[in-house]
Amino acid sequence: MDTDWLEEEELRAWVRLVALVELLPGVLEGQLRRDAGLTHFEYFVLAVLSEAPEQTLRMTSLAGRTNATLPRLSHVVRRLEGRGLVERFPCAEDGRATNVRLTGDGRDLVVKTAPGHVANVRRHVIDALTPEQVAQLSSIAGAVLERVDPEGLMTATTRR
């Protein structure tokens, strides 16, 4: 097999993207742990639920929207349920399925935590870019997401 090696500029872009993918989650999670005692993934689960109709999703749908395996999501939901932030209940349409719903306390925590999270995102990502670069980032991320998430499972809520 003949390898189509990356050109110098392509390699530079790739290495920078990998560094960003590795470093940014820690920056985001540090603030969330300090302010809300949540991991970034836990906050993401709560945020996805907060935007769902009736703040409820089937576990399988929530897993798709968060890119989680069902075992991982079940573990996280169990922790969040233990804190009173979500509740699980049987799906009325399909007794084999389980729904998860944000509780009042979960909603309150998302509302309380969101301003600090947004400020952190702004400080570390948005404010580092010009408005033109923000538009370029959106376009670039969209192009890559079409390849890695062709069904749009994780990006469904970003199509407002």
Render pLDDT for 67-115 as a digit per residue (tens, 0 to 9).
999 999 999 999 999 999 999 999 888 878 999 999 999 999 999 999 9
Mean confidence (pLDDT) of the chain: 93
Q: How far is CA 37 from CA 31, 32, 56, 62, 83, in A?
A: 9, 6, 22, 21, 11
Tell me if 153 is assigned to some domain.
no
CATH number at residue 51: 1.10.10.10
Domain, as residue range, for 54: 21-128
CB 66 within 8 A of CB 52: no
Tell me if 56 is assigned to some domain.
yes
pTM of the model: 0.88
Kindly calculate the radius of gyration of the chain based on its CA atoms and give it in whole angstroms: 18
Counted domains in the chain: 1
